[in-house]
Every structure is written in structure tokens, then in C-alpha cells.
Amino acid sequence: MHAHFSFSSSYLQIPTQTHTLSTESTRLGRVTTGFNNMGLKCAATLILFSIISAVTSSIAIDPCASKPDDAGLTVIPIFGKCSPFDPPKPDSWAQTVINMASKDPARVKYLSTLVGQKSVVSAPIASGQAFNIGNYVVRVKIGTPGQLMFMVLDTSTDEAFVPCSGCVGCSATMFSPKDSTSYGPLDCSVPQCGQVRGLQCPSTGSGACAFNQSYAGSTFSATLVQDSLRLADDVVPSYSFGCVNAISGESIPAQGLLGLGRGPLSLLSQSGALYSGVFSYCLPSFKSYYFSGSLKLGPVGQPKSIRTTPLLRNPHRPSLYYVNLTGISVGKVLVPFSSEYLAFNPNTGSGTVIDSGTVITRFVEPVYNAVRDEFRKQVGGTFSSLGAFDTCFVKTYESLAPTVTLHFTGLDLKLPMENSLIHSSAGSLACLAMAAAPSNVNSVLNVIANLQQQNLRILFDTVNNKVGIARELCN
């Protein structure tokens, strides 16, 4: 059942309503003459229909209503109905995705150069793509009492950050530390401060834990602080995050970022036994304006039966979720290319990662070219380009489009057509929704992006080192 339209038994009291209708019918029978049995049945039916219509109508006009407790945290497309953010201009969803995908090269460049060196000032506290655009946001509350923020969800980032009151250049929605009774600053002497990149602490080790970052033409300064973080009904006390006090540029997420990486300052690490290193999400389609997906934290409520592949760890890029992609099929053809382009190598950073912040899947150029050429061969006809997509064809040929299958160790993921094709705004073209890693980056990284993850339950188990994937309708 839809995560968004899961009904609790207390919401639709059908037995009670039926009883009320029966009582109402009896009363009508006593005060109304000339009513035959057929009339009573019609009256009861009309009343029941009115009640059901009222209930379904209230659901239809409130797509952002709270989910049942076991449905998890709501994951919202950033330009969806339940998000406070408006698209930069009133584009079609296809054009919006094209615009979002145009930011992918900066994201992939960031992922490809990410290292675990805490002293590198130029390494951003949050993922580069998220700085440019947040594809999905989650509702969280920070402080006591809780202050609502819509934070960007990012699986390749550890630290969280939010704009704080008095921030220069930030949006109107900011966290107010003075209004929270559980807020507390952190100084340079605490262990958490040593885990933040780009520190500005003096050599004496005293003073506020401050840091500056720059990325994609924007810069920000912040201090590391602590406060309670509420996620649905869960509370993570003394949660460490960056309190942004100044930005320059327009690419910083307006209400902050929630890091779900694997490092020491990530949500998984800071929540400890609360979530036991386990989470999953189901990302809704970008087309799902009125719907949302879910983020399930902890082992409770996760799928009981799900196919898994080993989760690999790169000590040089500790935040990233590496998996072993062994091959790619287009239709019934296993695409030929050298296995070295997919091989996991911690020393070079090569391999494949699953990432929530990249829009379309990116393969290193030799792999993508081989996949693209086989796809074109099977579709036939002529091809054109549209934005980041270089394999677009007339929609009448769509029935010839082959299925793309990603082969992982122990798991084959056959992508549905909606996860492998995107259509132009006019609907006349269909495009293969994948691309090569940017040519200006010495990239050795393949990235399974969020467009290919939509309407799938992706499970991350960092304790047992496995990733699970299952089909789930979350739009």
C-alpha cells in the first residue's frame, strides 16, 4: 500500500459509521410516513456514500497529512506539494529534471575527489550537489520546543547543518538557538570538533568550534553546536551540527542538510543504538507532486525479505556507500567492457556508489559509451540530445527500448522503464536517463543516482555490511 495513503484502523471507523446509519434509518422510519423498504435502503446508501465521500475528500485535499507511526519519516520531492520550496520557474517536470541533472557534474566531481582528510579546508562539510539543489527534503524538528525545518536528505554526507538566526545571506526560515532550552555551543576542545573538516580553531584549542567552507561559487561560515533532533516520534539528544551564520551565494540548501553518510558525525553514528546503523528509503518520482516517500530509521519496520548485495567500505572515502557492480545488460545483451572500469579499489577510489544527491546515473566514460551504443543499436533510428541526455529518440520507437539491468554481487536490478527513460516536455521524445561522468573530471567513480532509485526500497545496513533493494510503489 502507498506509504502516504496508509490508513490506521482508527481513521476509518466503518463499523461505527454503519451502526450510526442503522440508527439513523430507524429514526427516519419512525418520523416519516410512506417510506417503503426501498426508500430506506436508498436513504441509508446515500448517507453512507456521503460519509465515505467526505472522508476520501478530506484525504484528497490534504496530501501532506501525517503518516501512521510505522510509515517512517516523510521524504518529499523538493518541488512537491508538501515542500515549502517553489521551483525557480514554472517548468514542466521533465524540464525541472533536466535542470537538476545539469548540476550533476559538480556533484560527481565532489564525490570523486572526496577524501577523509579532516585538515583539508576546501573539502565541503556537505555534498556539492546538495549545495546546488536538494532533490529530496525531510521534515525534522530541532531544539526544545522543536522548530520545524525541511532539510535536504544526503547519503554521501556526514555532518548536518542549518541556518541560524542572525545568519547573513540566509533564507527567512532559520533555527533560533535562543528559543531552545536544550541548545548548547561546542568549543574546540571537544572530540566532535576534531571530526569536522575545514576547522578554524586556534592552535591553543580554545574558543568556539568554527569552520568556513566554499563550494560552487558559494561560501558559508558556521560553528559546531548541539541540540535535540526530532525525527517523527524519535528524539536524538545532544545532536552535533553546524550552525550557519553567514553565506555568500545562492547554492546553500535554504533550510539545511541532514547527513546520512557513514562517518562519525552522521545521523547513524550519533544516534547509536537508537537506529543500530540501519535505515532505508523509498524515493518518490519527481513527477509525484502530490505524494511523498518515506525514510525508515532503525531495523524495526524494514522489509522482512529483500535481496541484498555486500556493502563495501573505502577508508579514503568513508562516507560513501560502495557496492560491487559487476556488469550491465541492455535487453538480453551483457554489454562488453573491461571489468577494471567497475572494479572496487580503495586506493584509487574507483568502484560504484549509491547516492541520493545525484539525479541521473553516471558511469565512467568507457562503460557509458558501451551501454549507450548497445541501447542505440537495439532501438534503431536517429538520436538527438536534450540537456545532459545524449540518446533521445522519437517516442514512437519507445516500444523498442530495451530493459537495462544492473548486475550486483548476489542481486540483479532490472530497471523499470520509468527509471531508465525520461520524456521531453512536449512528450515527443524519450531519452535514456543516464550519462557519462563529466569529461573534465578524472573520475573513476560510477554513481547509481536517485532517478534510477525511485519507487524502490533501498536498505542500508552498516552493521551487517549489506544493501537491500526491493520494488515498492512510493509515489
Q: Catalytic site residues? A: 154, 355
Residue type at position 96: T
Amino acid at 321: Y
- CA gap 312, 299 in Å, rounded: 20
Instruction: Say if residues 73 and 231 touch (Cβ distance below 8 Å).
Output: yes
- Tell me which residue of 99, 140, 97 sits closest to 257, measured CA to CA: 140
| Contact of 317 with 116, CB cutoff 8 Å | yes
Q: Which residues, including other chains, have CB under 8 Å from residue 461's CB and lie 6 or more apart?
A: 277, 278, 308, 311, 467, 468
Q: Is 198 left (phi over 0), alpha (psi -120 to 50) or beta?
A: left
Longest C-alpha distance within the chain, in Å? 95
| Cα–Cα distance measured from residue 420 to residue 434, given in angstroms and rounded to the nearest whole number | 7
Alpha-helical (H) ranges within 416-464 are 417-420, 450-453
Do the Cβ atoms of 286 and 448 come closer than 8 Å? no
Distance CA 423, CA 95 (A): 9
**Rounded Cα–Cα distance for residues 207 and 197 (Å):** 17
* Nine cell digits for residue 20: 450510526
What is the distance between the alpha carbons of residues 82 and 288, in angstroms, rounded to a whole number?
A: 11
Cell of 30: 419512525
Supply 302's cell numbers.
524494514
Start-to-end CA distance of the chain, whole Å, equals 11
Are 436 and 369 within 8 A, CB to CB? yes
State the Cα–Cα distance between residues 150 and 189, nearest whole angstrom. 31
Count of alpha carbons within 13 Å of 91, Cβ hemisphere only?
Answer: 16
